[in-house]
Amino acid sequence: MTDIAIDIRNLSKQYLVYRKPLDRIRETFSPFGKKYHTPFNALRNINLTVPRGQSIGIIGRNGSGKSTLLQIICGVLQPTAGQVTVNGRISALLELGAGFNPEFTGRENVYMSTAILGLSRRQTDARFQQIVDFADIGEFIDRPVKTYSSGMYIRLAFATAISVDPEVLIIDEALAVGDIFFQQKCMQHMRKMMAQCTIALVSHDMHSVTNLCDRVAVLDKGRIVFDGKPPEGVAKYTKILHNEEFKKKQRRAAPDLLKIPVEVARKAAELNPEFSRWLVVTEEETGGAGEVIILRVFISKGGLPAKTVSSGDRIEVHLLVRAFVSKREIIFGYTIKDRVGNAIFGENSFCLADGPRPVEKGYSLVVFSFTWPEVYPDDYTITLGIGEGRHPLAHKIQCWAHNIFSLSAIAPGKAIHGMFNNPLDSLEITCLDASRDTVGAAGDVPKGCET
């Protein structure tokens, strides 16, 4: 048995887009070979190898080619060029209840779907109760699926797809549907499957991608622009979103725009003697509109570079920023992420009494601080951002610097129950049985239970 589950080589998919249906006929019978279509390249020269047992996330903007790629892997679509090889039994959730007949009951659809996936009726009989229990749709299993809610639809579809013990499982946005309890159940089952199953997951839920996937491929305009660790992949995807949203100009590409004038560097060094050691933020690490950008960063604790942090430490974030135009409503913020890219905590200057601040054209030194909470001892990264606007939830992203600094959190002599501790406010014990016979072996009598 080969160690490669999915092998994609030089894969391309092109669609011919016609403005009107009649144009197809005109092109077919055109005596001069006139073209009435416009070619659209959904995928361009994709090369991807997924080892057996690996979980890969495929992310990208809408229209980047993610779903097309999964459909070709499953054999639903044929490529225009290239080759796809899948080794092992494949099961797919490409869309909400794909393959279900709305007129059939849930039970009938389960048997039909498992038969298509290669199970005999006897094998389905043996697994049917397991499918029903996982889907948790109760008596609806014997009702037509056209009467199901979207959540019930996908729960039954997911339970059916995983029941065949696939060697390759393809999922397109299926984990984002259903209540929180079903999503947790899916996550737990997926983690169990990962030891013996190859998973290809398309999702816009970055939490699912970072927690379930060993690797991430980022698609943009039909090409793979990143293939590597999930946190870096999510950062790349976020940068693409920001730059596309704000149509960022490439004015930062000129090296002289990134150079700091001697006089600016001298003034910064007077204010902070450590300035020469500040971290340089490169173009590749940032995204956003780019009218106000971060050039240098220094994270300190007690005036010294912060390496390890513990509960109660005051962390200072120093930024050298450049504004290409004066701005009246600028906010600064941070996000702390764990080793797989989950956002753990963060805040921005909107929480302060004076809210957004003006930033003049040119260079400015910005300092803000926060207190490190009692979090699980591990390594964390900090992402820094500059926004513009007065709405706390919706503002224009000017600069977003991803995972540019790491910190090691310690908790000496403390037990952390989860990602962070949240202390109890009070504790009361009320005894409801005053009999000495109910008192513990030590003979201690709770207050209020004296006989």
Residue 135 confidence class, pLDDT cut points 50, 70, 90: confident
Domain residue ranges of the chain, discontinuous segments joined by +: 4-228, 250-409
Predicted pLDDT at 89: 84
What's residue 434's pLDDT? 62
pLDDT of residue 251: 46
Query: Higher pLDDT residue, 4 or 206?
Result: 4
For 336-359, what is the mean pLDDT?
89
Of residues 217 and 189, more confidently modeled: 217
Residue 158 has pLDDT above 60, yes or no: yes
Look up the pTM and report it.
Answer: 0.72
pLDDT above 90 coverage of the chain, percent: 43
What is the mean predicted confidence (pLDDT) over 391-400? 84
Section 342-369 average pLDDT: 92
Q: What is the pLDDT at residue 31?
A: 78
Say which CATH architecture domain 4-228 belongs to: 3-Layer(aba) Sandwich (3.40)
What pLDDT score was predicted for residue 435? Answer: 62
Averaged pLDDT for residues 143-171: 86
For 65-111, what is each residue's pLDDT tens digit?
998 999 999 888 999 999 999 998 888 877 655 568 889 999 999 99
Would you say residue 243 has pLDDT above 90? no
pLDDT given for residue 36 in this prediction = 81
Give the pLDDT mean for 169-191.
74
CB-facing half-sphere around the CA of 129: CA atoms within 13 A: 1
Average pLDDT over all residues of the chain: 85
pLDDT digits (tens, 9 = 90+) for 298-309: 999 988 889 899
Confidence of residue 433 (pLDDT cuts 50, 70, 90): confident
Better-predicted residue by pLDDT, 32 or 371: 371
Q: How confident is the model at residue 450 (pLDDT cuts 50, 70, 90)?
A: low
CATH number for the domain whose boundaries are 250-409? 2.70.50.60
**pLDDT, tens only, 138-152:** 889 999 999 988 778
